[in-house]
A and B are shown apart, each in its own frame.
Chain A
Amino acid sequence: MRYTTVIKEMNVLFSGQVMVVSKDAIVIQAIPIGGGMLPQNHTETKIKIIKGVEKAVPILFVTPIGIGEIIQPVPVNFSMGIPVENWQLVLGPTPLKENIGHFPTNESSKEVVVGPSLADQYNWTVGKEIMVKNHRLKIAGILDTKLALLNRCIIMPLKLAQKVYNYPESVNIFMVKPLDEYSQEDLANLINQNITYVKALTEDERNDMIQPVLAQIETWNLGMQTVIFIMSLILVMTVTIMSISERRRDFATLDAIGAPLSYVFRLVILETALIGVLGGILGLTFGSLAALVLSSLYTNIPLAQFFPSIFEIVPPIYMIEIFLSVVVVCCVGGIIPAINATRMRIAEALRAEY
């Protein structure tokens, strides 16, 4: 969930721009995975002489960022090095929390801004010094944002990032803004033709690249949902059949006193629907808690930090969908047992008691 959110946000942040990365890098939206680094000055010069380029911003994007000794099974923290004069271009109008502090203005300063989630977790405040990769850095401000990516980000001047993460004169992304009269496609083609060691990707291409991965995730999810659906159906059916067979005498009595078949049928379906409602509520409660605990375990972010964002981790619309699905599965699972209950032979069911 968090990754898809981050992926979506990356495209929001870099919307309308051409991304230039190393030719062998795998790009998920605008996040380069693997691939070599790009020589900053050389590549910047080559990009800037291409017709149609309005601006080229070098960015160093690093994960994991190694705060203290904390090991994260899933990398959730990011660091970005951005030239100070271009911060607003990347971050947009993101303000600082409580308007305290400032964005760094000097490339050689040791000042950083951090995401609010990181600040909450480590009790960072403006002015506090933190250790990142054995470098003492000063927090100049805390971002006031709800974006998943920026929540867990340390953003610093590009030169400082290159020093901290030991990538001198290197970056892994160029964000290239085309001139108004040039389309992203035209500019990406020109960059690809003129610079052999890079890959220029438009917003659409980045979206297209992620589609097979997302489709695969969706297929996997669908497969899992189908298996769970069928298993639940069989389970509900089995439990209800057992429950009815244990109450054969009651159903036979209903039949003997003249209850219509539709009454018996509705009774069983109502029972299974109630099981669905209870199961849905319990499942959602414990499932959501499990999602929080697992998120906390895999990210090393304290559990308490997840509680306020429970409805972002499990959005209400998903909760409603899950709840309704459970009720529907239970009702469908009750159909065969309900038919069985209506077909019960009274005399046989009653005779068993004599």
Chain B
Amino acid sequence: MKIKAVDLTKTYRVGPSKITAVNKVNFEVNKVTFTAIVGPSGSGKSTLLNLIGLNDCPTSGKIFIDNTDTSLLSGRKRRKIRLFRIGFVFQTFNLLPTLNALENIELPMSLAGKSQKEQREKAVRLLENVGLGDRLSHRPRELSIGEMQRVAIARALANDPEVIIADEPTGELDSKTAKEIIGLLFDINRKLKTTVIVATHDEKIVEVADMLCTIGDGKLKVEH
């Protein structure tokens, strides 16, 4: 999947003042890479990921996915892209608390119209792949934070996305668990040929990234 951002700007109104979270950002991912976006808190990392992931609309500028201007797409089509082509991993995992691990992973597949059998088989396989084969029927509150993030990664992979967007996936984790999660994301990138775009503070992620971007005051700079 080819992602291209052109003069991407996002401005928020907070009371009487305006805050420009993302300021004329140009960004391009052409092939399968592991991209890290680093920057201090409030620098606009999450906003940029939300824009790239079509969770939000830019104030100005455009995002092209496979040369299609996404600003011209209907909400329905943007949802379809999110469902079938993009997988999200959040810092706070965002697992649905009433569903168990298996059901959390089955949900995107169910929304994609896959059969019950297919959903169950794939969800079990994904959970086994992330090392949680013995936690299938555990609800999020019964899992450790590392396990929750693994479930979140498995959910992101449910519909075989071309891109995984991870917003500070190791932000809540201890260093050992963070290392495991980084390894998992790296394996996904290399073995499944899935583009991974990660916003992070974590130096270990920076070390393994193919492409490093820094962001500060809404301005993005590609380092390598």
Residues of A within 8 A of B (CB): 249-250, 252-261, 263, 345-347, 350-351, 353-354
Please give the distance in Å from A9's CB to the nearest CB on chain B: 53
Query: Please, which residue of chain A has its CB at the minimum distance from the CB of B79?
Result: A258
Residue of B50, B80, B96 touching A350 (CB-CB under 8 A) = B50
A interface footprint on B30-65 (CB within 8 Å = 1, 0 otherwise): 000000000000000011001001011000000000
Task: Give chain B's interface residue range (CB within 8 Å of chain A).
Answer: 20 to 34
**B111–A259 touching, CB < 8 Å:** yes
* Chain B neighbourhood of A257, CB < 8 A: 82-83, 88, 107-108, 111, 155
**B96–A253 touching, CB < 8 Å:** yes
Residue of B79, B92, B168 touching A259 (CB-CB under 8 A) = B79
18 interchain pairs, CB-CB under 8 A: A252-B94, A256-B53, A256-B82, A256-B88, A256-B94, A258-B81, A258-B82, A258-B83, A259-B111, A260-B79, A261-B75, A263-B111, A345-B56, A346-B55, A347-B50, A351-B50, A353-B90, A354-B167
Please give the distance in Å from B83's CB to the nearest CB on chain A: 3
**Residue from A254, A258, A351, A353 having most chain B Cβ neighbours under 10 A:** A258
B11 at the interface (CB under 8 A from A): no
* Chain B neighbourhood of A256, CB < 8 A: 53, 55, 82, 88, 94
Query: Please, which residue of chain B has its CB at the minimum distance from the CB of A258?
Result: B83
**A354–B91 touching, CB < 8 Å:** yes
The B101-138 residues at the A interface (CB cut-off 8 A) are 107-108, 111
Q: Is the interface of A mostly helix, strand, loop or mixed?
A: helix
* Chain A neighbourhood of B88, CB < 8 A: 256-257
**B108–A350 touching, CB < 8 Å:** no
Query: What are the 8 tightest A-B residue pairs by CB atom distance, in nearest-first order?
Result: A258-B83, A347-B56, A258-B82, A253-B94, A347-B50, A346-B55, A258-B79, A353-B92
**B80–A258 touching, CB < 8 Å:** yes
Please judge, given known A-B contacts A256-B82, A353-B92, whether A346 and B56 are in contact too, CB under 8 Å.
yes
